[in-house]
Amino acid sequence: MKNVNPFVHKTSKHANKTLVFDFEGTLLRSTSLFSYFMLVSFEAGGILRSLILFLSYPLVWLVGEYQLGLKIMVFLTFFGLRKDSFRIGTSVLPKFFLEDVGLEGFEAVMCCERKVASSKLPRIMVQGFLKDYLGVEAVVAREIKSCNGYFLGVFEKHKTTIPYDVKATSMDNNSIGIIGSHIEYIDQKLFPHYKKVCFMLTSNERRNWRELPRKWYPKPLIFHDGRLAFKPTLISSFIMFMWLPLGILLSIFRITLGVSLPFNASASILAFSGTRTTVSRPQTSTETEINRKNMLYVCNHRTLLDPLYISHTINKPLSAVTYSMSRFNELISPIKTTRLTRDRHRDRKSMERMLNEGNLVVCPEGTTCREPYLLRFSPLFAELTDDIVPVAVDVKGSMFYGTTASGHKCLDPFFHHLNPNPVYFVKILERIPSSQTCHEGGKSGVEVANFVQNEIGKSLGFCCTDLTRKDKYMTLAGNEGV
């Protein structure tokens, strides 16, 4: 899955050199750090903390965002957060860093195989991204002081240490440097070690940079966490806080209608409230196939609402199996749900029982994926029946994500409906041919699962992967998601 970097060439005159660069001034198109602190404040500290940070920005701007203002933002963002559970730097920020990277700066940085970065942001915010996505060997940045496992919101007072291998490299002529327009003490202590500074970038130059295309990401962005679906700049944060009071009431209204009223009655009201559902059905399906019972609908997984929207689309009652659905969501669900145990024998019996009682929908990915990728499909569903109908599902939200790996899953439907105009795409595909089934076609469960995954992937234009639920949770939450 790793893309080939088109910028590193062994014949390049800089390929074998060690590049030392200022992260914010060399790579990022934006000239403000406020958005990244707002992301940490909202995701790790909640709405109230992010609101306080937003209201404090006039003071930050007045005293200088790269000087005393930086310390103010660090204090308001980090004070009181638990250090051992902080994973925003690896689960949330990489997505927004990649979207902010300028193509011109990326080309300059990736021309060298060995890279060392300095940053004005705290190390815990940038180190994961720089090492995992850019292959940086060393990061020179300040630490945040902590006590009894909690951040105190102030920088450590001791001097920034420069790794020995960085100093050793800087003593020869095989190193170059790129620095930005804001020179802090980290740069002043780091860059004098280097014999040659290649060039210095200005803020005006960076504003005109082009966005880095997704196909050139050094590493595919498949997993990321957090509730915010937009970069919270000063203006967009103001819009969000203005929207929240109305959005909370609207979300409760939408959820109440979706649970208490039949879809035929609630569809027009939900559409009037701003939600939109795009439905596509196969043209060749006969009436007998449409009304057939004991059909197994297999879909990719975008939010907890997938089975509900599929039930509304086909206008038939469905049962659904779930892995980690909260008890609260099970209680308010308008369709029957059964919790799986991840014990293959027991889960198969549960699914067979539900399928014998009526139509069943399953999400064999086992977890949600936000990006245009499909995780590996578990083959258990393929062994139950040959009456399998693939369903392609996609979701769009402009402000919030209706999924989470480390947050409160019971709030997933609430955040989805908190978007001003949430959109659901549901595409019912053709029933898979008998030649591609286990019983009639003689295929293995894995072959059938791969076939269904590829059909859904082609329909959505998504890339199929071999990654699993465990891979996602190990990346985002540091556990296996059990």
- State pLDDT tens for residues 242-287: 999 999 999 999 998 877 677 777 778 888 899 998 888 887 664 5
Q: Same domain, yes or no, for 210 and 270?
A: no
Is 166 exposed, middle or buried (CB count within 10 Å of its CB: 0-12, 13-18, 19+)? buried
What percent of the chain has pLDDT above 70? 84
Q: Same domain, yes or no, for 309 and 360?
A: yes
In a domain, 1, yes or no: no
Q: Same domain, yes or no, for 238 and 183?
A: no
In a domain, 209, yes or no: yes
Looking at residue 2, its pLDDT comes to 45
Q: Same domain, yes or no, for 209 and 247?
A: no
Q: Which of 185, 216, 247 is the last residue of a domain?
A: 216
Tens of pLDDT, residue by residue over 378-431, are 999 999 999 999 999 999 999 999 999 988 888 999 999 999 999 999 999 999
Q: Same domain, yes or no, for 382 and 436?
A: yes
Average the pLDDT over 94-108 and give the result: 93
User: What is the Cα–Cα distance from 173 to 82, expressed in whole angstroms?
Assistant: 43
Average the pLDDT over 452-461 and give the result: 96
Average the pLDDT over 340-356 and give the result: 88
Looking at residue 109, its pLDDT comes to 87
pLDDT at position 8 over 90: no
In a domain, 394, yes or no: yes
Tens of pLDDT, residue by residue over 288-303, are 555 677 899 999 999 9
In a domain, 229, yes or no: no
More confident residue, 271 or 97: 97
Q: Which domain holds residue 385?
A: 234-476
Looking at residue 185, its pLDDT comes to 39
What percent of the chain has pLDDT above 90? 59
In a domain, 199, yes or no: yes
Q: Same domain, yes or no, for 303 and 347?
A: yes
Q: Same domain, yes or no, for 207 and 263?
A: no
pLDDT class for 360, splitting at 50, 70, 90? very high
- Closest-CA residue to 145 (of 134, 158, 135, 156): 156
Average the pLDDT over 316-340 and give the result: 83
Q: Same domain, yes or no, for 211 and 273?
A: no
Looking at residue 269, its pLDDT comes to 84
In a domain, 387, yes or no: yes
Q: Same domain, yes or no, for 185 and 247?
A: no
In a domain, 3, yes or no: no
pLDDT class for 87, splitting at 50, 70, 90? very high
Tens of pLDDT, residue by residue over 121-147, are 999 999 999 999 999 988 989 999 999
More confident residue, 168 or 387: 387
Q: Same domain, yes or no, for 63 and 211?
A: yes
What CATH number did the domain enclosing 35 receive? 3.40.50
Q: Which of 189, 216, 243 is the last residue of a domain?
A: 216
Q: Same domain, yes or no, for 312 and 377?
A: yes
Question: How many distinct structural domains can be found in the chain?
Answer: 2
What pTM did the predictor assign? Answer: 0.89
In a domain, 58, yes or no: yes
More confident residue, 15 or 244: 244
pLDDT class for 11, splitting at 50, 70, 90? very low
pLDDT at position 34 over 80: yes
Q: Which of 181, 216, 251 is the last residue of a domain?
A: 216
Q: Same domain, yes or no, for 258 and 352?
A: yes
